[in-house]
Amino acid sequence: MPLVWAHPEYVKLLRSLEDGKIFDMPPHTMHRYVIGQQRGRCRPWREDSPAAEIPAGISLRMDMPAASIILYTRDGWKSQAEVATKDTGLGLHVAEISTQGMEPGGTVEFTWRSQADGAWLGRNFDVRIDGARSSE
Protein backbone atom coordinates (compact mmCIF):
# COMPACT_ATOMS: atom_id res chain seq x y z
CA MET A 1 0.00 0.00 0.00
CA PRO A 2 2.70 2.52 -0.99
CA LEU A 3 0.30 5.24 -2.14
CA VAL A 4 -2.07 5.29 0.83
CA TRP A 5 -1.09 8.91 1.53
CA ALA A 6 -2.22 9.93 -1.98
CA HIS A 7 -5.93 9.26 -1.32
CA PRO A 8 -6.42 11.87 1.42
CA GLU A 9 -4.28 14.36 -0.53
CA TYR A 10 -6.61 13.91 -3.50
CA VAL A 11 -9.66 14.50 -1.29
CA LYS A 12 -8.03 17.68 0.11
CA LEU A 13 -7.28 18.84 -3.44
CA LEU A 14 -10.90 18.36 -4.45
CA ARG A 15 -12.09 20.22 -1.36
CA SER A 16 -9.65 23.07 -2.06
CA LEU A 17 -10.86 23.36 -5.64
CA GLU A 18 -14.47 23.42 -4.47
CA ASP A 19 -13.76 26.07 -1.79
CA GLY A 20 -11.54 28.17 -4.07
CA LYS A 21 -8.79 28.23 -1.42
CA ILE A 22 -6.40 25.80 0.23
CA PHE A 23 -8.45 23.60 2.55
CA ASP A 24 -5.88 22.84 5.26
CA MET A 25 -3.87 26.09 5.32
CA PRO A 26 -3.26 27.13 8.95
CA PRO A 27 -4.80 30.64 9.21
CA HIS A 28 -2.25 32.08 11.66
CA THR A 29 0.68 30.94 9.50
CA MET A 30 -1.01 32.29 6.37
CA HIS A 31 -1.60 35.67 8.01
CA ARG A 32 1.94 35.95 9.39
CA TYR A 33 4.01 34.87 6.38
CA VAL A 34 1.81 35.32 3.29
CA ILE A 35 -0.43 38.29 4.10
CA GLY A 36 1.96 40.04 6.51
CA GLN A 37 5.08 38.92 4.60
CA GLN A 38 7.02 38.66 7.84
CA ARG A 39 10.56 37.35 7.51
CA GLY A 40 12.49 35.23 9.92
CA ARG A 41 14.78 36.92 12.40
CA CYS A 42 17.77 34.78 11.36
CA ARG A 43 19.08 32.66 8.49
CA PRO A 44 20.58 29.26 9.35
CA TRP A 45 24.00 28.23 8.04
CA ARG A 46 25.35 24.68 8.20
CA GLU A 47 28.50 23.30 6.67
CA ASP A 48 26.47 20.74 4.71
CA SER A 49 23.93 23.39 3.64
CA PRO A 50 25.69 26.76 3.54
CA ALA A 51 23.85 29.99 2.82
CA ALA A 52 25.75 32.04 0.22
CA GLU A 53 23.95 35.27 1.09
CA ILE A 54 21.42 36.62 3.55
CA PRO A 55 19.14 39.66 3.59
CA ALA A 56 20.54 42.76 5.28
CA GLY A 57 19.50 43.21 8.88
CA ILE A 58 18.91 39.60 9.92
CA SER A 59 21.27 37.45 11.98
CA LEU A 60 23.34 34.61 10.63
CA ARG A 61 22.67 31.51 12.78
CA MET A 62 25.47 28.99 12.87
CA ASP A 63 24.17 25.42 13.30
CA MET A 64 26.96 23.11 14.49
CA PRO A 65 26.93 19.40 15.31
CA ALA A 66 29.12 19.91 18.41
CA ALA A 67 30.01 22.65 20.89
CA SER A 68 32.17 25.20 19.04
CA ILE A 69 33.65 28.67 19.26
CA ILE A 70 32.90 30.74 16.14
CA LEU A 71 35.57 33.29 15.17
CA TYR A 72 34.19 35.90 12.75
CA THR A 73 34.80 39.26 11.14
CA ARG A 74 32.52 41.76 9.43
CA ASP A 75 35.36 43.95 8.08
CA GLY A 76 37.83 41.67 6.29
CA TRP A 77 39.71 40.60 9.48
CA LYS A 78 40.58 44.18 10.51
CA SER A 79 38.73 43.24 13.68
CA GLN A 80 37.31 39.96 14.88
CA ALA A 81 35.05 38.55 17.56
CA GLU A 82 34.17 35.17 19.01
CA VAL A 83 30.86 33.66 20.00
CA ALA A 84 30.30 30.30 21.69
CA THR A 85 27.55 27.98 20.52
CA LYS A 86 24.75 26.95 22.86
CA ASP A 87 23.42 23.42 23.11
CA THR A 88 19.78 23.22 21.99
CA GLY A 89 19.35 19.80 23.61
CA LEU A 90 18.48 18.39 20.19
CA GLY A 91 21.97 17.44 19.05
CA LEU A 92 22.50 20.90 17.57
CA HIS A 93 24.69 23.71 18.88
CA VAL A 94 23.83 27.23 17.67
CA ALA A 95 25.30 30.72 17.75
CA GLU A 96 24.19 33.93 16.05
CA ILE A 97 26.19 36.64 14.32
CA SER A 98 24.39 39.98 13.93
CA THR A 99 24.47 41.74 10.57
CA GLN A 100 22.81 44.92 11.87
CA GLY A 101 24.47 47.99 10.37
CA MET A 102 26.18 46.06 7.57
CA GLU A 103 25.80 47.44 4.07
CA PRO A 104 24.58 45.33 1.15
CA GLY A 105 27.59 43.76 -0.52
CA GLY A 106 29.37 43.35 2.82
CA THR A 107 30.59 39.96 3.94
CA VAL A 108 30.65 38.00 7.18
CA GLU A 109 33.68 35.71 7.24
CA PHE A 110 34.08 33.00 9.85
CA THR A 111 35.69 29.78 10.98
CA TRP A 112 35.41 27.78 14.19
CA ARG A 113 37.18 25.58 16.66
CA SER A 114 35.94 22.69 18.74
CA GLN A 115 35.22 23.46 22.40
CA ALA A 116 36.18 19.89 23.32
CA ASP A 117 39.78 19.87 22.04
CA GLY A 118 40.36 23.38 20.63
CA ALA A 119 41.04 22.06 17.11
CA TRP A 120 40.48 24.63 14.36
CA LEU A 121 38.48 23.72 11.28
CA GLY A 122 41.32 24.89 9.02
CA ARG A 123 39.35 26.96 6.52
CA ASN A 124 37.21 30.08 6.36
CA PHE A 125 33.71 30.57 5.00
CA ASP A 126 31.89 33.73 3.97
CA VAL A 127 28.30 34.89 3.58
CA ARG A 128 27.43 37.97 1.55
CA ILE A 129 24.84 40.53 2.67
CA ASP A 130 22.35 41.17 -0.13
CA GLY A 131 20.32 44.31 -0.76
CA ALA A 132 16.97 42.97 0.47
CA ARG A 133 16.13 44.42 3.85
CA SER A 134 14.44 42.45 6.57
CA SER A 135 11.03 43.72 7.67
CA GLU A 136 11.91 43.25 11.33
CA distance linking residue 97 with residue 118, whole number of Å: 20
Total domains present in the chain: 2
CA distance linking residue 7 with residue 32, whole number of Å: 30
Q: 49-71: per-residue pLDDT in tens?
A: 999 999 988 999 999 999 999 99
Domain that holds residue 25: 6-35
Helix (H) or strand (E) holding 84: strand 81-84
Is residue 135 pLDDT above 90, yes or no? no
| Residues 97 and 112 reside in one and the same domain | yes
| Residues 108 and 129 reside in one and the same domain | yes
Q: 93-134: per-residue pLDDT in tens?
A: 999 999 999 999 999 999 999 999 999 999 999 999 997 654
| Residues 64 and 122 reside in one and the same domain | yes
| Residues 97 and 126 reside in one and the same domain | yes
| Residues 73 and 23 reside in one and the same domain | no
Q: Is residue 1 part of a domain?
A: no
CA distance linking residue 77 with residue 107, whole number of Å: 11
| Residues 56 and 81 reside in one and the same domain | yes
| Residues 79 and 19 reside in one and the same domain | no
Name the residue among 39, 40, 44 with its Cα closest to residue 94: 44
| Residues 75 and 26 reside in one and the same domain | no
| Residues 26 and 49 reside in one and the same domain | no
DSSP tag of 75 = S
At residue 54, the pLDDT reads: 94
| Residues 31 and 92 reside in one and the same domain | no
Stated pTM of the model: 0.71
